[in-house]
Structure 1
């Protein structure tokens, strides 16, 4: 971990299962309120795994699909984290998913890693990926390590990206 990481990427406070479930409930209440304001239907599911609360919004048809774009999901997650933080007084690591968009993005990231690994196998020394969120970078770091390659984050803020190279 480099010194360039933001406070949000630093080692997070470990929360109990009850605290994570409470964060999930607060997040679900907030998202439900937003869906009501914009008159969208959606079913909310809360899960706790890997030290994080996950809130998934499903159903709702075509109208909800418009919220499932990566930028919209990231914005919804950022707003939800702020709402939870305002209630709890601590940084929230809530993960929000709309219509399975997180799984779709995870699959897309795996394809990016496959393409980068193929370029390295073909002789490139390193491959720089597009900027991505800290959560996405974590997924990519894990995928790259599983494949026996090396990755590191470079850049600042919204321009922070991963660079993949041979181990």
Structure 2
């Protein structure tokens, strides 16, 4: 059964009185076609939802029931999901010549993980408040580090990424007093 696509678009391009397709809307369409084909090849049922928020395309693959096949597409700790996101971005780059910042989510994994990442940031903040001068967090990918950096900043602390490659991690410290 082919996947259904639902599109919610907030930003279109108006040029000389003609409404055109925005870059992010185009990238969403290309990504959805790619992912629909992938789901068909893998014989996995799922619906594809596309949403544009703040100039970025968010694509979700969801199903009426959580299936093992969708869990497999997420993988342990999201590594398969990250790989699919990167492949989808490469597909968009190949088709448009433009780098994409699209975010792919499957069965709400990223939303759930975001809650966990904010809890990790709050845990580090508690350690700093308890007297630690610096708290090193576990290694994580760039997308997750961005979420943690933002959460740490909202808590009034500072954070910095350290390390290389798969060992790259965040170190949280108290904000510098001027």
TM-score strictly above 0.5:
yes
1:25 equivalenced with 2:34 (yes/no):
no
Which structure's residues are more often strand, by fraction?
2
Any idea what SS the aligned residue of 1:61 has? coil
Task: Tell me the distance in 1 between the aligned counterparts of 2:93 and 2:139.
Answer: 25
Kindly report which structure 2 residues correspond to 1:83-102, keeping only aligned pairs within 5 A, or say none.
Answer: 83-102=91-110
Any idea what SS the aligned residue of 2:57 has? strand
| Structure 1 position 40, deviation (Å) | 0.2
Q: 1:5 maps to which residue?
A: none
Q: What runs of 5+ residues in structure 2 fail to find an aligned partner?
A: 1-12, 14-20
String of CA shifts for 1:113-165, please: whole Å, max 9, x gaps. 12111111121111111222222111111111111111111122332221111
Which structure's residues are more often helix, by fraction?
1
The 8 Å contact of residues 149 and 159 in structure 2, kept in 1 or not, is answered as yes
Q: What runs of 5+ residues in structure 1 fail to find an aligned partner?
A: 1-15
Tell me the matched-pair count: 153
Any idea what SS the aligned residue of 1:36 has? helix
Please provide the CA RMSD for this pair: 1.7
TM-score after normalising by structure 2:
0.80
TM-score after normalising by structure 1:
0.85
